[in-house]
Structure 1
Amino acid sequence: MLDAKSQGTPAAGFRQSLKAITRLIDRMATPILPTLLVALLGSATINVPAAHADDSVAAGSGQPDAEGIRFFESKIRPVLIESCYDCHSEDEQESDLRVDTLEGMLTGGLAGASVVPGKPKSSLMLTAILYHDSDLRMPPDEKLSDSQIADVTRWIEMGAPHPDSANVKPIKRRGDIDIELGRKHWAFQPPVKVDPPRVAAASTADSGSGSQSDRSRNPIDAFILSRLEKEGLQRVAAADKATLIRRATFDLIGLPPTPAEIEAFIADDSPDAFRHVVDRLLASPHYGERWGRHWLDIARYADSNGLDENVAHGNAWRYRDYVVNALNNDKPYDEFVVEQLAGDLLDSGTDVALKNERLIATGYLVLGPKVLAEPDQAKMEMDIIDEQLDTIGRSIMGLTIGCARCHTHKFDPISHHDYYGLAGIFKSTHTMDSYKTVAKWHETAIETPEDVARREAHEQRVAAQQKLIAERVADATAKLDPAPAAETKPEEVEKLFPAETLTALKELRDELKKIQDAAPEMPMAMGVVEGTVADTSVHLRGSHLTLGDVVPRRFPEVLADDNQSPLPAEQSGRLEFARWLTSGTHPLTARVMVNRIWRGHFGKGIVTTVDNFGVQGNAPSHPELLDWLAVRFVEEGWSIKAMHRMIMLSETYQTSSTFDAHNNDVDPGNQFYWRYNLRRLEAEAIRDGLLAVSGTLDRTTGGNIMQYKTREYIFNHTSEDKSEYVTSRRSIYVPVIRNHLYDMFQLFDYTDASVLTGDRNTSTIAPQALFMMNSELIDELTFAIADRLLQIDTDLPTRINRLYLESYGRPASPEELSSATAFLSQFQTMVAKRSDKMDPQRLAWQAFCQSVVSSNEFVYLR
C-alpha cells in the first residue's frame, strides 16, 4: 500500500513501490487465466457464501461475464493493490481483513463482511472509502478519487464479479451461532425445581432468635447446609436478637430500629417473634423507599439528563414514586415489568388512576442519558434504542445484549440479527418528540378528571375575557365616524379610539394576561407511546450508514421458540416482548430477580455477576437453590415480599458474622455461607440513619423537592447552579443530578446514574473517615443528637445507653459506660477551662455522639 506514511523519504517510497509491483507480478497469473477462460467459454459458475440468518453478506450475481471480470481487473484490482494490499493481504491482515481474495472480502474481518455483492449500501468497503464513518476511513491517509469510488460502487452493484468466483465455496462467516450449543449454557435452560436435599448434620445455629430449629422447614437451609457438609464446613451460631433486628430493619427499610422496637423483640420469646418483625417491616411505607432505591439503581434513575445538555428531568420523580408505591403494594413482579415496558398498551378500562400509573411506569424506557445535541439524528435515535436494549437486557434478563449492536456477540449466543430484531421493537416506539437540537424526550399527559375540569374552567375564563375584549373593540369601532376603510389593520383602527376606551382595553388585556398566566399546570410524565411500526435493517458495525438485511421484529433465537410467531404488524411488539419475558417459562427473568433480592440481603448474589448471566458471567454458587427460588417466585405469584420473607426466615440469613478459623481456611470468601458477611451500609442508609438517630428525619413519603423545571438547564458553564441537597427528607428523594452528584453520595460509592448498577462497589478510603470527622453535616447532626439526649430527664448511664441503642442496636457494655463517663467528664472540664462562652456539657456530648456515629459499628451490619 503506497500511502502518506510511506512517502516520507525517496528510499521508503521506492521500497513500497517495489513491494507493490512484486505483489502484482505474483498475482498476474491468477487473474489472467480465468479471464481468458471466461472469454473462451462464455461463463463460469460462481459459488458465494450461503445465506444465513446471521449473514451480512448477500448472494452474488451467480455468473459473471467476461466484461465483469475485465471491469474488476482494469478498475478495481489496481485500486486494491495501490491502496489496500499493504495492510489487508497475505502478508498482513489488519483487523483480520484480507481484500486480495474474494473469500477474504466476503468473509470480512473483525468489523464484518467487507463486500456484499449487489448491495453497495450494505458493504463496509464502500462505507470506508466514502469516509461516511469517522471510525472507519480507508485508505486512512487520503480518500480515493470520486471516479475510483464510483468504480467500486458499480463493481459491487454488478455482483462483485471476480476471477476467484468459481473457487469460492460456501463459507462459515464470523459470528455464525450454533443455537443448540448456545442453549446448553446453564442460564438459557429453564429452571428446574428439585426437592431440597436431606441433611444429616446438626446445625450449630440455635433458635433463640425465633428461627426454625428443624432445617427442613425452610428449603433454603437444606440447600445451604448440604453444600456446607459437602465442603467440610460447619455453620457458625445464630446472631443474637439485637444484632438480628438491626440487620433486618436496615435491610428492609434502610433505617435503624428504635429502642422500643429492639426491647419488644428481645422480650418476645414466641417462636414467631422474628416473623412478626419481618411482617411489620414489610408493611412499612419505608420498605418501598429502601427497595425502590435498589430498583432505581438498575433503572439508571436520575433527575437530569447529563452528558452534553444537562437539562432537568423535571417529572422523573413520578417514576420514582411509582416504583416505591409498586413495591409497597407488593405489585407482582411480572406486572411490574410489563407496565414499565408496555404500560401504555395495557387496557385500563375506565380506571384513570391505573391508566396514569401505567403511563408513568414507561418512564423506565426514557430515563437514560442522551446526547441531545447530536447533529446526526439517525445516530441519536439508534444510540437511544441501544441504551434501552442494554438496560432491559442487563436489568431484566441479566444479558449484555448491547454488545451485539456492532457485531454478533463475542461470547453469548446473541447474533447481530437478534439485536436488530429487538431494536425494531423500540424503533417502532415513540421515545423522542424531536431529534432536532436540543432534542426533546416524550412526556405524556396524566390528567385526572379533576385536572381536566380545572383546565376546562380556565379555558372558559380565558375565552370569556377574550370575548369581552372583542365586544369592546367591535363596539368602539362601530362608533367611529367616519368608519375606517375595510382594509385598515386592527391596530391602526384602535389608534382612532378615544383615550378612555384605550384605557379600558388595556385593563381588560392586562386582566387577560393574568388569567392566562394563572393557567393550572397539567401533570406530565416521562414515558413512551407507540410510534411508526417498522422492521429495522442490520447496521453493519453498528453504523446507520451501512445497512444490511431487514430483520423482522423478534426475540433472540437462543431464548425463544424455534418457530416464533410474527409480532403484530400494527403494533411495536413491546407488549408481546414484555409478556414473553414474564411468561414464567423464560429461563432468565425470575432467576435474575431472585438473585437480586438475595444480593440485597447477603451483599452478594448466588450469581455474583448480578447483571450478567451470560457465558462471561460467574456460575451460581448454589445452582439448585437458585432454580428452586426462581420457580417458587413464579409459583407464589411473583411476590417480592414473599421472597423476602422466605430468605429472612431462614437460618442462613439469621446466622451470626462470627469468625471461624477452620471455615476461613477452607472457604475464605464465604462462598458457601457458613457465616453472615459483614456489610457496610450504602450512602443513603448512612445518611438516613444519621438523620433518624438525630431525630431530624422527615419521614414524608413521595413528591418532588427539585428546584428545576422540566428541561431547564442544570449547572454548567452558562447556567446558575440551583442544585439543593440541604433537606431532612430521606435520601431517595434527594435529586440525582448527573455530572453534579451530591458529594456525600459520591464519597460512599453511590451508583453511577448514567448506567445501570446492580452491584455497587464498597470502598474504604480516608476521605470517608474525614467526612465523618469534619463535615458540616456531621457537626449539625451530632449536635442535634446531643441536644435531644440532654433534653431527656434521666441519669448519665441511661443517656449513654440510649445513644448506643439508637446507633448500634444494643446497650453499652460496662466498659463502654465507664469510658464514656470518663470522656464526658474530662471533655467538659477541658472546655470550661478554655472558654466561658461555650456550653461545656453540650460540646462534650456532641464530641461523644460524633465518635459513636463515626465508628465502624454504626456504618456496618453484622
Structure 2
Amino acid sequence: MQRPAAVVLMFGILVGVQPRILDAADRREIASRIRFFESQIRPLLLAKCVGCHGSKKQAGGLRLDSRTNLIKGGESGPAIVVGRPDASRLMAAVRESDPELRMPRNGKLTARQVEQLGRWIKSGAVFPVQAGRDRILRDPNHWSFHSLRSPTLPGVKNRNWLRTPIDRFILARLDAEGIAPAADVDRRAWLRRVTFDLVGLPPSPEQLAAFLGDRTPGARSRVVERLLASPRYGERWGRHWLDVARYADSNGFDENVAHGRAWRYRDYVVESFNSDKPFDRFVTEQLAGDLMAWEGQRQRNEHLTATGFLSIGPKVLAETDQAKMRMDIIDEQIDTVGRALMGLTLGCARCHDHKFDPIATSEYYALAGIFKSTLTMRKYTKVAEWHEHLLPSPEATAMKQVYDQKVAAAKRDVEQARASAREAVRKRLDQNRSGDKSDKELEKRFSPEEMARIKKLADVVAALKKAGPNLPAAMGVTEDKITDVKVHLRGDPQTLGDVVRRGVPAVLRGPPAPRIAEKTSGRLALARWLTDPRHPLTARVMVNRVWRWHFGRGLVVSTDNFGLLGERPTHPGLLDWLSVRLIRDGWSIKNLHRLIVLSRTYGLSSHANAAAVQQDPDNRWLGRGRVRRIEAEAIRDALLAVGGQLDGTMTGSLLKLKNRAYFFDHTSKDLTTYDSRRRSIYLPVVRNHVYDMFQLLDFPDPAVTTGDRTSTVVASQALMMLNSKVVMAAADGLARRLQSEADGIDGRISRMYLVVYGRPPTAGERQADRRLLAELADGNGTPSRGGSVNEAELPLAAWAGLCHVVLASNEFMYLR
C-alpha cells in the first residue's frame, strides 16, 4: 500500500531511528503517546530540567532535551532506560530515593508528575523532534487545508452496475486498477448488515420474511426508511458520536466522581440523531448553545444541555495550582474540538509551534482565549466543581415548591420546639419566683434533653439545605469574564509572553476568520466558522466518520487526524463529493446514510476472487465487502434481543451514585452494576474502570476522542463468550423463546438460526445440532439411545446449551 511520506517518516522522527511503515493501530498508539508527551512531559522537562541540562548548560555533562541525549546520559551514565522506569536514574532522582541524587533543584515534583514521568519512560519515551523536516511536515498546502470542491462524477463503462453516485467513484477506481468487484451479498446478509449498521440490533425473523417476500422496486429503500425512523437508530448512532465526544458518567483521573447529570447530554445526542438535526446546528449547539436564539423553554434547555460537550472531559479536580488546572481544562477542550470536528491535533501547539502541522503556538492561544472566556468550572479550589445549568420547567417549579415547603415545615418544627422549651423553662422559673427573663436568657437554661431535641430538628433543616432541591440540571458551559490570553512560554502558566487576540488557525482556507466581538467569548463565532460551507474540514471529517462507521475503515484511514501525519484519502473525489452533498442536503446525516447503504458498493459480498485479493489485499479500493466484528455494545444488545430480554426504555440515568459522589468508596471498590437489560448506551461509563465485558471487546478510552475503534482478536474474548453471565442468560432466554415460538426439534433449530444468524441451518448443521441436543439431554456427555432423542425428553437446559454454542460463534459477532 502506498503511504504518504509523513507517515513513513513518522517513526524515525519520533524516536530518531531508521523509519519504518506503521499500520493503523501503530499510528493510533503513537498519536496517543505524542499527545501525552506534549501535554504532560515536555512542559515538565522544560520547566524543571532543561535549564540546567539543555543546550546552554549541561550540568554533569547531561542534556535532557532529546530522547537521544536522555538515553546517552552524562557523567553518571544514562538518564533513562527505555521501558524500565525503575532502572532509570532520572526516576531515582525525582523520587529522591537516593540522598545523593535529588532533582530538580528548583522544587520537588508532585506525586502525579513523578507518576507521569515513569509512565512515559515505561511506554517507550516517545520524544518528537523536527529533524530538519519543517518543509515536509508543516506544509500549508496539505490537501485537507484546501476548500471543498465538487468534482465531476467519473464516467464508467458498466453503467448497469451503478445504484447511487458513490458507485461511480468506486467503479472508476476499480477499473483503473484492473480489479473486478465482488458479487452482491445475498439479500439475507444485506438485511443483517444494514440493520446492525443503522440500529445496532439483528433483524427479526418477521422483518427478514417481509423483506425476502418483497420483490417490488424500492424494497431496500423501504427497509432503510423503516430503520432510520426507528428510535433505535438514535441510540446506535448516538453511541458513535459519544465515542467522539469522550462521553463518560465519571470524571476519571484523581477524583473519580460521578457526572451525575451527564446523561442529559447523552439523551440530547440520541434525540438529535433521531430527529436528523442538521449537523451544522448540532455542532453549533454543542459549542455555543447557551448563546443561540431559542423559542420556548424546552429548546432553551436543549441548547444548554448541548454545551455538555465542552464540559464532560476529564479534569484533575485536586490540582492545587489553579492556573495550571484552568489551562489544562482549556487544553482538553481545544484538543477535543480540534480532533472531533476538524481532525487536527491542535493540543500539540500548547508548548511550541506544532511539530507536524502548520499551527503556531500563538494560534493555539488565540483559541485558548475563546475557552478562557468560557465558564466551565464554578470553583477551582480543591476539590474543584464543574458548572451546571439549571433547566427550568413546570416540573422543576413544582419540585422547588415542594422543597421550599419541606424546608419551611422543618424550620417551623425547630421554632416550635424552641418555643415549647422556653415555656417549660418559664414554668420552672415561676415555681422559683425568679421573675421575667428574655428568650435569650431562657434558652441558656434549656435542659440537655430539650437541647438534643432542638438540635435533632435543626439537623433536619441543615440536611435539607445541604441536599438542595435537586432541580433538573445539566453539565455545560456559559460565558465568563472576557479575556485574551498571553502565550504561555513552553506551556508554563507562570512564564508569559505576548497577548494574542482570540481567533482561529490561519492555514485553513475557505471562510474568512471570524470577527469576535469584544464582549463575547467567541464560541458562537467559532461554531459559525466551523460550519461555514466553505470550511475545508468540518464536512470532510464527519463524512469520513460516517463512512468508517459503515465500512469499518474511513476513506481517510486516520479518522481523527487529517493533518500531515494522517493518511491521504483513498478516494479524494468521493470524499469531496459526499462532503459537498452533505452540505447541499442541509447537513442531513440520514440522507448521507441513504446514499451509502443503498449503493452497490455497500452491498458487495466479502468473498472475492483470488486475483482481486492478490491485487488489493487490504481492500483499499473497496472491491469487496469487509468482514467486521460488531462493537461491544451491539454484541450485548444483540444477546439481549435474541434472548427476548431487551428493555427498550429510553432516556434517564442508571447511576446509583449522587452527583459528584465518589465511585470508589473506602474499600476502593466500584459498586456500579451493569445488570440492567436496557440498551448498552444507557449503562454507566466509568473512566478508569470501564465495564469488564466492554473492555474485553475493545471499548475505547472514554477520556479521549475516538473515531476509529480497534477490533482485536484475543483468547479472553472467546472465554468471555463461554463464561459470561450475560451470554448464559441470553442462551436461557433464547431457549425459552424457541419453546414458545416453534414446534418440534427441527422447527426450533430452524427458528434458532433465523433469530441468531438470519438464515436457515444447513443439513450438516441440523444434524450436528441434533447430536449435541441428544448428548446434552443425557446429562453425561454421551448420546441417548444411539444419539436419537424425542422432543419430550429434551430438557430446557439442553436447548440452552445448544443456544449458547450458537451465540458464542463468530457468525453471531461478525458481519460478512
TM-score of the aligned structures, taking structure 2 as reference length:
0.79
Q: Alignment partner of 1:651: what SS?
A: coil
Q: How many residue pairs are counted as aligned between the two chains? A: 700
Task: Show the counterpart of 2:491.
Answer: 542
1:188 aligns with 2:140: no
Offset of 1:193 from its aligned partner?
A: 0.7
Give the Cα separation in 2 of the matches to 1:555 and 1:299. Answer: 21
Does 2:528 match 1:528?
no
Tell me the secondary structure at the aligned position of residue 821 of structure 1. Answer: helix
Query: Which residue number corresponds to residue 77 of structure 1?
Result: none
Inter-partner Cα distance in structure 2 for 1:584 and 1:83: 47
2:540·2:579 contact (CA, 8 Å) conserved in 1? Answer: yes
Residue 488 of structure 1 corresponds to 440
| Paired position in structure 1 for 2:351 | 406
Cα distance 1:790–1:94, how it changes in 2: closer, same or farther (>3 A)? closer
- The within-5 A match list for 1:403-552 is 403-460=348-405, 462-463=407-408, 466=411, 470=415, 480=426, 488=440, 491-492=443-444, 520-552=469-501
Is 1:851 matched up with 2:800? Answer: no
Change in CA separation of 1:467 and 1:826 when aligned onto 2, cut-off 3 Å: closer
Listed one character per residue, the Cα deviations across residues 37-94 of structure 1 (whole Å, up to 9, x for unaligned) are: xxxxxxxxxxxxxxxxxxxxxxxxxxxxxxxxxxxxxxxxxxx9999856399x9987
Contact 1:832-1:840 at 8 Å conserved across structures: no
Change (3 A) 1:606 1:492: same
Cα distance, 1:416–1:471 mapped onto 2, change above 3 Å: same
Per-residue CA deviation, residues 633-672 of structure 1 (Å, 9 max, x unaligned), is 0111111111001101110111111121111111111111
| Counterpart for residue 703 of structure 1 | 652
Contact conserved, 1:786 with 1:849, CA < 8 A, in 2? yes
Where do 1:534-613 residues align within 5 Å?
534-559=483-508, 564=513, 566-613=515-562
Distance 1:799 1:521, change over 3 A: same
1:663 aligns with 2:612: yes
What is aligned with 1:246?
192
Q: For residue 308 of structure 2, what is the amino acid of its counterpart?
A: G
Distance in 2, matches of 1:547 and 1:81, equals 20
Q: CA deviation at 1:517?
A: 9.4
The Cα of 1:780 is off from its aligned counterpart by 2.1
Q: Does the alignment pair 1:617 with 2:566?
A: yes
* 1:232 matched residue in structure 2: 178
Q: Work out the CA distance in 2 between the residues paired with 1:720 and 1:494.
A: 46
How far off is 1:437 after superposition?
1.4
C-alpha separation between the residues in 2 aligned to 1:504 and 1:572? 53
CA displacement 1:368-423 (0-9 Å, x = unmatched) = 11111112111111111111111110011000001101110011110000100001
After TM superposition, the score normalised by the length of structure 1 is 0.75
Say if 2:484 and 2:499, in contact at 8 Å, map to a contact too: yes
Deviation at residue 95 of structure 1 after TM alignment: 3.7
Task: Report the alpha carbon displacement of residue 233 of structure 1 after superposing the two structures with TM.
Answer: 0.8
- Describe how 1:168-207 pairs up with structure 2 within 5 A: 182-201=139-158
SS in 2 for 1:549: strand
Deviations 1:156-190 (A, max 9, x none): xxxxxxxxxxxxxxxxx999999998442110111
Indicate conservation of the 8 Å contact 1:233/1:663, yes or no.
yes
Deviation at 1:304, TM superposition (A): 0.9
Question: For 1:82 and 1:802, how far apart are their aligned partners in 2?
Answer: 72
Counterpart mapping for 1:92-171 below 5 A? 95=65
Aligned equivalent of 1:759: 708
Query: Deviation digits for residues 759-785 of structure 1, max 9, x if unmatched?
Result: 010101111111112233222221221
Label 1:709 to 1:560 Cα distance change in 2 as closer, same or farther (>3 A). farther
Equivalent in the alignment of 2:71: none
Pair 490,276 (structure 1): closer, same or farther in 2 beyond 3 Å: farther
Letter in structure 1 aligned against 2:166: I
CA deviation vs aligned residue, 1:285-340 (integer Å, no higher than 9, x gap) = 11011111100001111111111111111111111111111101111111111111
Letter in 2 for 1:387: E
Q: 1:802 aligns with which of 742, 751, 766?
A: 751
Contact 1:88 1:94 in 2 (8 A): no
Q: CA deviation at 1:486?
A: 5.3
The residue number in structure 1 matching 2:58 is 87
2:333 aligns to what?
Answer: 388
8 Å contact from structure 1 (residues 804, 810) kept in 2: yes
**Structure 2 CA distance for aligned equivalents of residues 355 and 715 of structure 1:** 35
1:449, 1:571 → 2: CA distance?
31
Task: Report if the CA contact (8 A) 2:746-2:766 is conserved.
Answer: yes
* AA partner of residue 323 (structure 2): A
**In structure 2, the residue corresponding to 1:537 is in which secondary structure?**
strand
Distance change >3 Å, CA 811–CA 337, structure 1 → 2: same
Counterpart CA distance in 2 for 1:797 and 1:359 is: 56
Listed one character per residue, the Cα deviations across residues 228-283 of structure 1 (whole Å, up to 9, x for unaligned) are 10000111111111000000000011000000000100000012000000000000
CA distance in 1, matches of 2:322, 2:638: 46
Q: Is the 8 A contact 2:261 2:474 kept in 1?
A: yes
Between the aligned partners of 1:833 and 1:563, the Cα distance in structure 2 is 77
| Aligned-residue offset at 1:571 | 1.3
SS of 2:637's equivalent in the other structure is helix
Report the AA paired with residue 637 of structure 2.
D
Query: Cα 1:665–1:567, aligned 2, differ >3 Å: closer, same or farther?
Result: same
The equivalent residue for 2:261 is: 315
What secondary structure, in the 3-state scheme, does the structure 1 residue paired with 2:440 have?
Answer: coil
- 1:827 deviates by 3.1
5+ residue gaps, structure 2? 1-50, 68-92, 108-129, 785-791
Q: Taking structure 1 as reference, are residues 545 and 844 closer, same or farther at Cα in structure 2, changes over 3 Å only?
A: same
Identity level (%): 48
CA separation of 1:459/1:234 partners in 2, compared to 1, >3 Å: closer, same or farther?
A: same
Q: CA deviation at 1:702?
A: 1.4
Give how far 1:810 is off: 0.7
Checking the alignment, whether the CA contact within 8 Å between 1:404 and 1:419 is kept in structure 2 is: yes
> Which of the residues 267, 270, 282 maps onto 2:216?
270
Q: What is the distance in 2 between the residues matched to 1:380 and 1:510?
A: 35
| Pair 1:142–1:663, CA change in 2 (3 A) | closer
What CA distance in whole angstroms lies between the structure 2 residues aligned with 1:683 and 1:245?
A: 20
Pair 1:338-2:338 in alignment: no
The amino acid that maps onto 2:530 is: L
Do the aligned partners of residues 592 and 258 (structure 1) sit closer, same or farther apart at CA in structure 2, a change above 3 Å counting? same
The residue type paired with residue 292 of structure 1 is G
Cα distance in 2 for partners of 1:650, 1:329 equals 23
- 1:252-401 aligned at under 5 Å gives the runs 252-349=198-295, 351-401=296-346
Query: Is the Cα–Cα contact under 8 Å of residues 310 and 333 in structure 2 kept in the other structure?
Result: yes
Q: 1:419 to 1:826 in 2, by over 3 A?
A: same
| Amino acid corresponding to residue 87 of structure 1 in structure 2 | Q
Q: Does the Cα contact within 8 Å between 1:678 and 1:861 map onto a contact in 2?
A: yes
- Structure 2 CA distance for aligned equivalents of residues 418 and 602 of structure 1: 35
SS in 1 for 2:499: strand
Match in the other structure for 2:662:
713
Q: Per-residue displacement from partner, 1:181-217 (whole Å, max 9, x unpaired)?
A: 8442110111111121110136xxxxxxxxxx562x5
Contact kept in structure 1, 2:146 and 2:509, CA below 8 Å: no
Match of 1:114 in 2: none
